[in-house]
Structure 1
Amino acid sequence: MIGIRGEGLPDKEVYFNPKSTRPIREIRGAGLFSGKDSLYAIYLAERYGVVVTDLISLIPTFDKPAGHIENLPILQKIARNMNKELTVISLQKGRDALVEALIRMGVEALVAGDVLVEDHVRWLQEICKLAGVALIEPLFNKDTLAVLMDMMHAGFKATIICVDTDFLGEEWLGFTLSKKTLNEFLSKKGNIDPLGENGEYHTIVIDCPLYKRPLSIKSWEKHRSGKISYITIESQPLHD
């Protein structure tokens, strides 16, 4: 069953048919969008019948580099590849910018890919309550290894674009996680969370069932800032 977080929103609650795990009626949603977890959550939500029309990428306020934002042109290309509208929001403006965006989009739900970080779920609950939308968390409280395995077996391929070198070496930059390479990663990753839930690594999805066509990486450039090492990617053009 998909995780639903819409407490206090009786007019915006999302009700699911227990026999099919699909909504009683079709609802339109927006999805937080960055790496593999968020995109897998969107994939699951769409399988459950949520129509995700809009994507939201958040620019964080912390000083260290964010691998996804350093690769924002790739995220924009991926959004076009899925025929979805991408909105980029800076959290320097606080949560109001996200609340206003959800209201402006006219969606009924926000889909997010949180797994273990309860504080982030509570933060999103507050935002969704202010915006009058439901929060859908398909991955919340699930086993992280099981999520990663299910994701890869669903056809996801995710390239590692950022590592915290306290936990994972620079040699993993550019490594693509897939059904074929999963065992290699799990056997060599050391004592880190399989999904990177503690910020050990971040990814960009280069292929999944949501894409019209795979993303082909042409080249990348490596960067280092303190203990954070990341790559900026250049991809081949996506032809219609």
Structure 2
Amino acid sequence: MQVKALNIPAVTIELPEQPDMATYESATGAALNALKAQHFDRAAFGDIFLEDLRAYREQQMAGYGFKTIFPLWQKDSKLLLQEFISRGFQAIVVCVDANKLDASFAGRLIDESFIADLPEGVDPCGENGEYHTFCFDGPIFKTPIPFRIGERIYRAYDAPGDAGKAEFWFCDILAP
């Protein structure tokens, strides 16, 4: 629905619920090869300051002949989020890291009160995986995406290596 509302072409990569890196990289590689055959040669990412993630993306993309673009790199996270809001974009939080934010953040609208309520140490843009969002409206959308909020669900997964459990609160987003 986002792609339709934005009127842009898109390619999706289907992955299992908990893919290992080999599965992820294989699926991504197949998609990149298909895009390369269509004469695409650049990939843009919204990373802001995670050096290791940027290096990984640059290495992965270079292996397929893609140049990387990072338009938000080293920008101030709080200012980026305030600009997102002031330009009229709307997003709702659909997932929070339960070790960083409590369940009440799942299902919240991204607005100035959201920013004010973030605990110290949580990046305003969720750059460290503290939260994830669903953007449903903004000045580049032809129409807002209709939805209703479902229930909040807690899930725990085995984290990679010896990291223990990864714990999350999810907020279901449902068709109206």
TM-score by length of 2: 0.79
Are 1:98 and 1:127, in contact at CA under 8 Å, matched by a contact in 2? Answer: no
1:190 to 104, 113, 119: 119
Alignment partners' CA distance in 2, 1:78 and 1:99: 21
2:160 corresponds to: none
CA drift at 1:98: 4.4
Using the alignment, how far apart are the partners of 1:202 and 1:186 within structure 2? 14
Residue 224 to residue 198, structure 1, CA distance change in 2 (3 Å): same
1:228 aligns with 2:168: yes
Unaligned 5+ segments in structure 2 are: 16-20, 157-166
Cα distance between partner residues in 2 of 1:99 and 1:121: 17
Q: In the aligned structure 2, how far is the partner of 1:104 from the partner of 1:82? A: 24
Amino acid at match of 1:85: P
Q: What amino acid sits opposite 2:84 in the alignment?
A: M
Distance 1:201 1:120 in 2: 17
Matches within 5 A, 1:84-123: 84-89=8-13, 90=15, 92-94=23-25, 95-123=28-56
Distance (Å, rounded) in 2 between the aligned partners of 1:153 and 1:217: 22
| Distance (whole Å) between structure 2 residues aligned to residue 133 and residue 190 of structure 1 | 38
For 1:107, give the aligned amino acid.
F
* 1:80 aligned onto 2:14: no
- Segment of structure 1 superposing worse, 211-220 or 111-120: 211-220
Normalization by structure 1: what TM-score?
0.60
Task: Give percent identity, aligned residues only.
Answer: 26
**Does the CA-based 8 Å contact 1:102-1:131 persist in structure 2?**
no
Residue matched to 2:65: 132
Task: Note if 1:145 corresponds to 2:83.
Answer: no
In the aligned structure 1, how far is the partner of 2:24 from the partner of 2:107? 33
After superposition, the CA RMSD in angstroms is: 1.9
Q: Which amino acid aligns with 1:121?
A: R
Give the structure 2 partner of residue 211 of structure 1: 141
**TM alignment of 1:151-162, pairs within 5 A:** 151-162=84-95
- Which letter does structure 1 place at the counterpart of 2:132? H
